[in-house]
Amino acid sequence: MVTHLATSKPSEIRFCCPFCPTRGESVDTRFRLYLNVSSDKAICFNCGYRCSTGAIARLSKELGEDIGFDSAVQVVGTTEARKDNGPKDFQLLRKADYANDVIAQTATRYAINRGLTREQTYKANAGFATKGLWGYRLIFPLFWKNELVGWVGRDFSGRARRPKYIMSSDSKQHLFTYGRLKGNTVLVGEGILNVLACQRAVETLGVVATMGSNITDSQAGRLKAIGRVASRVVVWPDADAAGKRFAVELGYLFSECSVVYPSPGDADELEPELVSKAIHRSQPFCWAMQMQLKS
């Protein structure tokens, strides 16, 4: 789940500031709060919030999650991830040389262990790389209207102090989509692997991942467009405070939607039968649910 981003400085993380609305500013969707994990200080360049000591503990409480640099998502620019041909030495899983490539074998085992089917890896154009920052990652290209617009990579090396996820610099302006969206039930969730788990449980679903609980303005516009053509929208939030805020924001965004609440957890860690039941038992977003999600 992408809730914060690493910067070019080794000890600095960016967040969507949770204090902006209480300080008279609009909701921050551009990661304007900077936290230095070495000095334990924070500053927001939108609302002016400052914390000169104890910033990690304060933000952890406000965001409802433990903050640590190990869990940060690193955003890389066009040098490492080019939209025309992707990360350096990107290889599609479906075209990999499994007989001679150990990394291809490792990437495939990781995809299988996370529940991905061969059809999903093929249709999602999933792949991997062997070198540099993108090496030893399961990589998903992002498309919008058949145009390649970004990349997301999930580490499978297990190395300590390596960002779990990395994204190309403009990925948070876009969405991961899979399956038919127009005239279909569409499920919206935070993580790519989670929404693909939902699609495995209910094969007729179209699914969309926002790559985190914070919705950018560009993503909001595209989600609205999807909502206008979908026959039904179901939101699956993560089971944490950030997930609740995610559900409320999407509840406001769509004119009509249902929410899987209480969230049973990450879909890719549940049996398909439980995922299917949770989706079919999702409840319409209404005032009563809004109050529950905000409590």
* 166-225 pLDDT tens trace: 888 778 889 999 999 999 999 999 999 999 999 999 999 999 999 988 899 999 999 999
pLDDT at 28 over 70: yes
Which residues are bridge partners to 81 per DSSP?
Answer: 87
> Which residues lie below 8 Å from residue 138, measured CB to CB, with a gap of 6+?
107, 110, 111, 114, 126, 127, 128, 153, 154, 156
pLDDT at 282 over 60: yes
**Residue 82: predicted pLDDT:** 47
Please give the CATH topology (third level) of the domain spanning 81-172.
DNA primase DNAg catalytic core, N-terminal domain (3.90.980)
* DSSP letter, residue 173: G
Q: Is the pTM of this model over 0.85?
A: no
Residues 295 and 291: their CA atoms lie apart, in Å, by 6
Which residue intervals of the chain bear CATH 3.90.980.10?
Answer: 81-172
Give the per-residue pLDDT at 79. 44
d(CA 266, CA 191): 9
Residue ranges matching CATH 3.40.1360.10 in the chain: 175-294
Between 6 and 181, the higher pLDDT residue: 181
CA distances from 279 to 119, 228, 268 (A): 22, 20, 13
Distance CA 106, CA 88 (A): 18
Biggest distance spanned by C-alpha atoms of the chain: 59
> What is the per-residue pLDDT for 96?
84
Q: Are 241 and 63 in contact (CB under 8 A)?
A: yes
Give the pLDDT confidence of 118-136 residue by residue, as tens digits: 999 999 999 999 888 889 9
Give the residue among 13, 21, 8, 25 at the shortest CA–CA distance from 60.
Answer: 13
Q: Give 70-104 pLDDT, tens digit per residue.
A: 444 665 554 444 444 468 789 999 888 877 889 99
Inter-residue contact 69 to 11 (CB < 8 Å): yes
Q: Which residue in the block uniquely carries the two structure tokens 């500031």?
A: 17
Confidence (pLDDT) at 252: 94
- Residue 85, H or E segment: none
pLDDT tens across 132-155, in order?
888 999 999 998 888 888 899 999
The CATH code of domain 175-294 reads 3.40.1360.10
Contact 86, 151 (CB under 8 A): yes
Alpha carbons within 13 angstroms on the beta-carbon side of residue 12 total: 12
Q: Is the pLDDT of residue 37 over 80?
A: no
160 pLDDT more than 50 = yes
The pLDDT score that the predictor gives to residue 58 is 87
- DSSP lists the bridge partners of residue 92 as 127
pLDDT of residue 66: 57
